[in-house]
Homo-oligomer: A and B are copies of this chain.
């Protein structure tokens, strides 16, 4: 096995230029209630407000923008439980090309609708009986199209890293020192991008990951010093974070750069969603609120410098207004 090509901070900076004027420079919002509770400046990076309701648009746009016109022409293919699906559909649409997306038949309806709203052509598969990888490969071969991985790709990781540079710039602009960033972790694409960005722009900041209980493969992989996969494939409401494991590429980036990973329960994620709606006026999805859940549950070490919590996605069917 040859070592995978790893993106560098130069790739993240190139992604910043590609995303400029296209992606939302999402706000870094103060969380005064948490600030008083923790005795340090606390902010949330609201990637819920990114186009398509999650950070995934960043990586998808960067990957497609890095293609030649000829590579892009036949359209693109992706497989995803939902947020990457929408990110790829939107990025393809805004590039004027088609997107075929392989999604599980039990994907949240809001994610299927969101993918279709951006013109994505949805192909369902049965999690128990079919291989989404095989189905995507077949669609791609049929069309001569490129498959855009959800996280195992240098351009995708570099695209997600743009959120990390935005965090570093916004914290510095407030005259504060960035002490720690907490992010949800699924396959590790966002975490890897953040790691590269922080290493360059805020080298003293510590990066923490939050994973669903039972899907804490990165936490266990960091402890074991090698990639350990999750046993279960489903069974958590944090659907955006249920990757089988991190990949060699993201593990190679994260292993030397992460301070720690913690597991959060579905109940903690649920409470964090309600907390975000009440105190931040933000809709989050269960997986998107995992880092907030880790902080609210006391899993992240105390500190004095600014703490930034990444809210990675807000695509949920589960928020209702009852006035």
8 Å CB interface, A43-78 against B: 46, 48-49, 51, 53
CA distance A49 to B270 in the complex (A): 21
Q: Which of A26, A284, A320 has the most CB of B within 10 A?
A: A320
CA distance A30 to B90 in the complex (A): 14
Residue-wise, chain A 170-182 has the 8 Å CB interface mask toward B (1 for contact) of 0000100000000
Q: Contacts of A33 on B, CB cut-off 8 Å?
A: 117
Q: Contacts of A237 on B, CB cut-off 8 Å?
A: 323
8 Å CB interface, A266-317 against B: 266, 269-270, 273-274, 277-278, 280-286, 314-316
CA distance A273 to B319 in the complex (A): 11
A316 near B320 with CB under 8 A, answer: no
A24: Cβ under 8 A from any B Cβ:
yes
A318 near B314 with CB under 8 A, answer: no
Main secondary structure of the interface of A (DSSP, over half): mixed
A321: Cβ under 8 A from any B Cβ:
yes
CA distance A67 to B218 in the complex (A): 54
Copies of the chain in the assembly: 2
A322: Cβ under 8 A from any B Cβ:
yes
Q: Which of A46, A49, A274, A323 has the most CB of B within 10 A?
A: A323
A314 near B274 with CB under 8 A, answer: no
Q: Contacts of A21 on B, CB cut-off 8 Å?
A: 174
A27 near B30 with CB under 8 A, answer: no
B277 near A48 with CB under 8 A, answer: no
A residues neighboring B (CB under 8 Å): 21, 24, 26-27, 29-30, 32-33, 46, 48-49, 51, 53, 90, 110, 117, 174, 237, 266, 269-270, 273-274, 277-278, 280-286, 314-316, 318-323
Q: A29-B49, A277-B320 are in contact. List 15 more A-B contacts (CB 8 A).
A: A49-B281, A53-B281, A110-B278, A237-B323, A266-B323, A273-B323, A274-B320, A278-B319, A281-B284, A281-B315, A283-B319, A285-B323, A286-B323, A316-B321, A319-B319
